[in-house]
A = this chain, B = another copy of it.
Amino acid sequence: MNYPSRLIEDAVSEISRLPGIGKKTALRLALHLLKRDEQQTRGLSEALLKMRTQTCYCVKCHNISDEALCNICKNPKRDTSIICVVVDTRDVLAIEATSQFKGLYHVLGGIISPLEGIGPSDLNIDSLLKRIEEAPADERVQEIILALSPTMEGDTTAFYLQKKLKPSEVKVSTIARGIPIGGDLEYADEITLGRSIVSRVAYD
């Protein structure tokens, strides 16, 4: 396309490098910013740069943080005996939103995927093992919950972690697979339905 301004062209090209945003959407966003107050663009531009340059990863759980130790790891009310292993920050936010988990997290930073060339050494696995091993006596880890997606990559990663965690004699569990709340039995796939029968829960 023959853009009317080189500056617009540059902006469109930078915006369309973001995932899921094509040239047409990028142009729509650029024209939107041009119509709005200059302060909005300035705010966006500064927030992006600040986020990229000033955030870091928590030295303990590898979640994104403003300081060396994240808010969750710093919180004395969290249960240090249970660690939930997740792929990234979005999973932490999703689980936090449920208010059902009061332990700590460990963010792997990815998932084992031979197709994308991501192996165990690219993930924060060694630091998880070290965390369990070096925990002080009053903060001993008793359970690791693997909260990974039930995909080929998720299952591979879970299998690898189980093997690695075996020697530590910590209890390892996984989040339940089953029929989602509001889901319809009739439309559930065979594997999910099968698993929901195998992992049935007894009424108290």
| A positions within 8 Å CB-CB of B | 1-8, 10-11, 13-15, 17-20, 25, 27-34, 38, 40-55, 58, 63-66, 70-72, 88-90, 92-93, 96-97
Chain B proximity of A133: nearest CB distance (Å): 25
Please indicate the chain B residues that have their CB under 8 angstroms from the CB of A25 in the complex: 20
Evaluate contact between B33 and A52: CB separation under 8 angstroms: yes
Evaluate contact between B51 and A34: CB separation under 8 angstroms: yes
Please indicate the chain B residues that have their CB under 8 angstroms from the CB of A14 in the complex: 40, 43-44, 47-48
Evaluate contact between A4 and B71: CB separation under 8 angstroms: yes
Evaluate contact between A4 and B70: CB separation under 8 angstroms: yes
Evaluate contact between A48 and B65: CB separation under 8 angstroms: no
A11, A48, A54 — which one has the most chain B CB atoms within 10 A of its CB?
A48
Which residue of chain B has its CB nearest to the CB of A63? Answer: B4
Q: A5-B66, A18-B32, A19-B29 are in contact. Are A49 and B55 (CB under 8 A)?
A: no
Whole-angstrom CA separation of A95 from B154 in the bound complex: 48
Chain B proximity of A199: nearest CB distance (Å): 29
Which residue of chain B has its CB nearest to the CB of A43? Answer: B14
Evaluate contact between B65 and A1: CB separation under 8 angstroms: no
Whole-angstrom CA separation of A40 from B53 in the bound complex: 12
